[in-house]
Chains A and B, each alone.
Chain A
Amino acid sequence: MEILMLTWEYPPNKVGGVAAHVEDLSKTLNEMGHDITVITFGEEEESEVKDGIEVHRINAKEGPDITSWVLMSNHRMQKKGVELLKEKDFDIIHAHDWSAVPAAASLKEVTDAPMVTTLHSLERSRVGSIHSDMSKLINDLEWYGAYEADKVITVGEDIRDEILHHFSVPEEKLHHVPNGVFADKFQKGNSVRDEIALDWEIPVLFVGRLCHQKGVRHLIEAMPKVLDKKPEVKFIVAGGGGGVDHYRNMAESIGVDDKAYFPGFVPDDQLIDLYNSVDATVMPSVYEPFGIVALESMSAGTPVVGSHVGGIKQTVVHEWTGLHVEPANPDSIAWGIEKAISDPTWNDWMGKNGKKRAEEKFTWHRVADMTLDVYDKAIKTK
């Protein structure tokens, strides 16, 4: 199959999880014998073939807001797509998130190829509500992406239901395809436990953008409750985003700053070491369409304490691969962390179960197979 992927982020340009998702899916589809072309944003206009994938980067002038930049980028993506049509006959046009929808919708109009849209998350849940003109436009583009697509892929079941009800998308158009993980990548890390914790300390990891959606506030509120019972716990709160100083100050104001370490954005190789060095990974998210961190941690054999929301409901199995806790509830989060680390034998057992689950249920080959099945359905629907 000749597949065109449209995404605003693609490695090395990585902001959220979409870049890694598109790259891993593309690599796997390519290994399975399909031709993948990616059009994405870049600092320079350039084209290259990397790992068998043809990547075209377009550039667009930044403006005073993200939406105008995205729409300019879409114009350039569309133009690049039209240029490629001279030599390629795409079977599928696959848009990732609202930021690639206008270009994908236009290219769909001028080719015979069906359009598939993956909605990785929704604006209304990312920001809490649609309260500004910008949010309204993003929400409209998410709707437009679902409306124009022949098939819509969602990474979680909760977000699937959200799209079904919020955008009134016909049920048969929606397909749940989870994220995948290359589990072995997360098993190659070295333990850096000695470097991040004293001999008697138990490190617990948070990974993600430091923002409201990830529930960092609730984790910090849970810290004194955990430390009351388990003073040996040490929190590594890894991740960038605009909230680092805010949350560091919050930890200081409630007196847990000596037990909470904020290293900022951590590159992949260091992150893999961290997963392999801690007793638990905590995901206190209030909204999490999928939550790739759970799969990464499970792949490394580290149990996950995660909110009972979105994709975490599907990846983490309560008391088998980790623990579910109530979102936005510091008492529940504290309970989960304490319970996960209280019995080392049980902790190891959950880690092994998680590793097995990630290796068996969430391989990229399985995800690519499911995606191809959606592509086939889209072609038949068109």
Chain B
Amino acid sequence: MSVESVLMLTQKYSEGEKISEYCQRLASHLEDEGVETHLVCFGDEDVDEKVGSVNLHKFSFKMHGDNYFSWSMLLQSRFMEKIDEIVEEEDVDVIHANNWPTLPASLTASKLHELPFVVTYHSIEEERGMDNPHSHQISDLEWEGIEEASFIVVHKDKTKEAMEVYDLPEKKVKLLANEDWEKDVKKLYDRAAQVNSNLQNMEKEAEDNHGNFDAYVGVSSE
């Protein structure tokens, strides 16, 4: 299966910002492969426009948290709202989160819309030193993302090494340190979407034929 549309999330999107540039580069490659990128992020005002290869969806948010962690968590309701809007209008095949500030909404949206999700950890809290007052909560979110993502993308040995504390299936974490990593990310999308689609089809078929997915896949009901 080849995905046709990706929903990317990053907290902020601006020129020169590292994760923004990462998303831009990936979107540009995806465009060459015929894949559309929708990118959702926080901004000063509500914006829906095409910028380069990216269909940019910025949302504004006026509430202030009592610290950066709270503010990031508060943003999730708006992320969810925006994701919902896009999924209603577009045929999104995969959700791609970037770092913990986009995880809660990505995790929930992936469950709600039954879409696979991939996360890129540009760094993780363990690697950053666990010296933030909310480090344990951030780490907990990162772990939740690790558990539920189809694939985890990292680009540095250091990040992969820091993730060893989590005792993960080796093939779930993809260290992409190569020049043309965008191609590999696209392959991961395709693989995640394919498995997701297969399972959904099996489930549907089971419901149609047997009325019970567990029985269909051989799980005893006893």
Is there a chain B Cβ closer than 8 Å to A78's Cβ?
Answer: yes
Tell me whether B73 is interfacial, beta carbon within 8 Å: yes
Task: Determine the chain A residues whose CB is within 8 A of the CB of B181 once the complex forms.
Answer: none
Flag if A85 contacts B70 (CB, 8 Å). Answer: no
A105 within 8 A of B: yes
Additional pairs, 11, CB under 8 Å, beyond known A68-B73, A75-B104, A109-B80 = A60-B140, A61-B140, A65-B66, A71-B74, A75-B73, A75-B107, A78-B104, A106-B76, A110-B80, A136-B64, A144-B63
Would you call B69 an interface residue if the criterion is a C-beta within 8 Å of the partner chain's C-beta atoms? Answer: yes
Can you give 13 A-B contacts (C-beta < 8 A)? A61-B140, A63-B133, A64-B134, A68-B70, A72-B140, A74-B73, A75-B104, A75-B107, A79-B108, A82-B108, A109-B77, A134-B66, A137-B64
Q: Is the CB of B80 within 8 A of A72?
A: no
Cβ–Cβ contact B65 & A67, under 8 A = yes
User: Is A199's CB within 8 Å of the partner chain B?
Assistant: no
| B107: A residues at CB distance < 8 A | 75, 79
Say yes or no: A63-B69 contact (C-beta < 8 A), given A71-B74, A102-B77. Answer: yes
Check: B111 CB closer than 8 A to any chain A CB.
Answer: yes
A89 at the interface (CB under 8 A from B): no
Asked if B81 lies at the interface with its beta carbon under 8 angstroms from chain A, I say yes
Q: Tally B residues with Cβ within 8 Å of A.
A: 25
Of A78, A105, A109, A132, the residue contacting B84 (CB under 8 A) is A109
Shortest Cβ distance from B42 into chain A, in angstroms?
15
Q: Is A43 an interface residue (CB 8 A)?
A: no
In the bound assembly, the distance between CA atoms of A82 and B148 in angstroms comes to 15
Cβ A68 vs Cβ B108 within 8 A: no
Whether a CB of chain A sits under 8 angstroms from the CB of B187 is no
Q: Are A75 and B76 in contact (CB under 8 A)?
A: yes
B136 on the A face (CB < 8 A)? yes
With A64-B134, A137-B65, A140-B63 known as contacts, the answer to whether A71 contacts B111 (CB < 8 A) is no
> Closest Cβ of chain A: how far from B86's Cβ, in Å?
13
In the complex, whether A133 has a CB less than 8 A from a CB of chain B is yes
Confirm or deny: B137 has a beta carbon within 8 angstroms of a beta carbon on chain A. yes
Q: Does A83 sit within 8 A of B, measured CB to CB?
A: yes
| Contact residues of B between 10 and 40, Cβ < 8 Å to A | none
Alpha-carbon separation in the docked complex, A75 to B101 (Å): 12
Q: Is the CB of B137 within 8 A of A133?
A: no
Partner of A140, one of B64, B80, B111: B64
What B residues does A140 contact at CB under 8 A? 63-64
A63 adjacent to B134 (CB under 8 Å): yes
Contacts of B65-106 to chain A: CB distance below 8 A: 65-67, 69-70, 73-74, 76-77, 80-81, 84, 104
Q: Nearest residue in A to B83 (C-beta to C-beta)?
A: A110
Q: What chain A residues lie within 8 Å of B76 (beta carbons)?
A: 75, 78, 102, 106
Interchain CB contact under 8 A, A133 and B104: no
